Amino acid sequence: MVICNRSLSLNRNSPCGRSISFNKRVLNIGSPRVISTRFSSVSRFFRLLVVIGSLISFLVAFFCGYLYVLPSLSQAFHVHGIANSTFNDSISSCNVLDGSWVLDNSYPLYNATECPFAERGFDCLGNGRRDTGYLKWRWKPKNCNMPAFDAQGVLEGLRGKRVVFVGDSMSRTQWESLICLLMSGVQDKKSVYEVNGNQITKQIRYLGVRFASFNFTIEFFRSVFLVQQGLVPRHSPKRVKSMLNLDKLDDISKEWIDSDVLIFNTGQWWVPGKLFSTGCYFQIGNSLKLGMSIPTAFRTALDTWASWAEENIDTNRTRVFFRTFEPSHWSNLTRRVCNVTQQPTFETKGREYSVFSDAVFEVAKNMTIPVTVLHITSMSAFRSDAHVGRWSDNPSIPDCSHWCLPGVPDVWNEILLSFLFAGDELHIQ
Q: Which positions are catalytic?
A: 169, 399, 402
Nearest-angstrom CA–CA distance, 194 and 173: 15
- Judged by DSSP in three states, 317 sits in coil
Contact (CB, 8 A) for 103 and 383: no
Tell whether omega for the bond before 71 is within 30 degrees of 0, i.e. cis: no
- Judged by DSSP in three states, 353 sits in coil
Q: Is 285 exposed, middle or buried (0-12, 13-18, 19+ CB in 10 A)?
A: exposed
Helix (H), strand (E) at residue 41: helix 32-74
User: Given the DSSP bridges, would you call strands 162-167 and 216-222 parallel, antiparallel or unpaired?
Assistant: parallel
Helix (H), strand (E) at residue 122: none
User: Given the DSSP bridges, would you call strands 280-284 and 242-249 parallel, antiparallel or unpaired?
Assistant: parallel
DSSP code at position 148 = P
Residue 107 neighbours by CB under 8 Å, 6+ apart: 135, 136, 137, 138, 406
- The one-letter amino acid code at 58 reads F
CA nearest 200: which of 112, 256, 264, 118? Answer: 118
Contact (CB, 8 A) for 266 and 168: yes
Backbone angles phi, psi at 364, to 5 degrees: -65, -40
Q: How many CB atoms lie within 10 A of CB 149?
A: 21
What's the distance, CA 320 to chain centroid? 21
Q: First vs last Cα of the chain: how many Å apart?
A: 66
What's the distance, CA 389 to chain centroid? 16
